[in-house]
Amino acid sequence: MHMHRAVKKKFSCVRISPRNDNICAKLTMCDGSKLSYVDEIRYLGVFVTLSRKFKCSIDNAMRSFHRTANRIFGKVGRLRLASEEVVVQLLLHKCMPILLYALEVCALDKRSVQSLDFTINRFFIKLFRTSSLVTVRDCQSFFGVDLPSIVLAKRFDKFIARYGNTPI
C-alpha cells in the first residue's frame, strides 16, 4: 500500500477584494515557481479567509478549544476529581487563550462572536449540568468569567488605544 503525504506549500496567496471570486493568473516568483491562490491561509496563528473584505476564520480556534476543553473535562470535570472552581480556572487559563488568540484584531461578524459566546455557555451548561442560561450566567458572574464578546471588545479597545494613532 503506497501512501502519499500531503505537501504543505510554504507560499500561497488569498485574495481579499470585492472581486475575490474572479479567476486570477498565478503569480510567478523569483525562482520561477508559481504562487497559487487558496481559500484560507494561516499567518501568525490566525486564519485569513477568501472574502470581499478582510475576514478571519474561527473554525480552527473552535476545534482547538473543544479538543482542549474536552480533554480537561474528561480528565477532571466529568468524574468530579476537581472542584468546579478548578475546572473554570483551567478553562480561563488553558482554553480561552486558544479560543481568542489574536481575534481582537480580526473583523469578526456578529454570528462568529455569538458562536464564541455560545461555546463558553455550552461549557458551563455541561460543567454545572443545567440547561438554564440564567444559572449559567450566575455561575459565570460568580467565577468572574466574561463571555468572549466582552473580552474581545475590551482587547480591541486596548489595541486601538495602544496602536490606533501609530503612523504606518
Q: Tell me: do 72 and 119 sit in the same domain.
A: yes
pLDDT at 17: 65
114 and 140: one domain? yes
Q: Note whether residue 46 is domain-resident.
A: yes
Residue 78 pLDDT? 64
Asked if 69 and 33 sit in the same domain, the reply is no
Asked if 124 and 132 count as a contact pair (C-beta separation under 8 A), the reply is no
Instruction: Find, among 94, 91, 112, 92, the residue nearest to 103 by Cα.
Output: 112
Identify whether residues 48 and 68 lie together within a single domain.
Answer: no
Q: Which of 57, 80, 98 is the last residue of a domain?
A: 57
Tell me: do 135 and 52 sit in the same domain. no
Judgement on whether residues 22 and 90 belong to the same structural domain of the protein: no
Residue 97: per-residue pLDDT = 94
- The whole-number pLDDT of residue 5 equals 43
Range of the domain at 53: 7-57
pLDDT of amino acid 56: 77
Domain match, 30 and 43 both? yes
For residue 162, the number of C-alpha atoms closer than 13 Å in the C-beta half-sphere is 8
Q: Does residue 101 share a domain with residue 151?
A: yes
Residue 16 phi/psi, 5-degree rounding, is -120, 100
Same-domain status, 102 and 88: yes
What is the pLDDT tens value at each position of the chain, 168 positions in all? 444 444 456 677 776 667 767 777 777 778 888 777 777 778 777 787 767 777 778 888 999 999 999 998 888 866 667 888 889 999 999 999 999 998 887 878 899 999 999 999 999 999 999 999 999 999 999 999 999 999 999 988 888 888 877 666
> Could you give the number of structural domains in the chain?
2
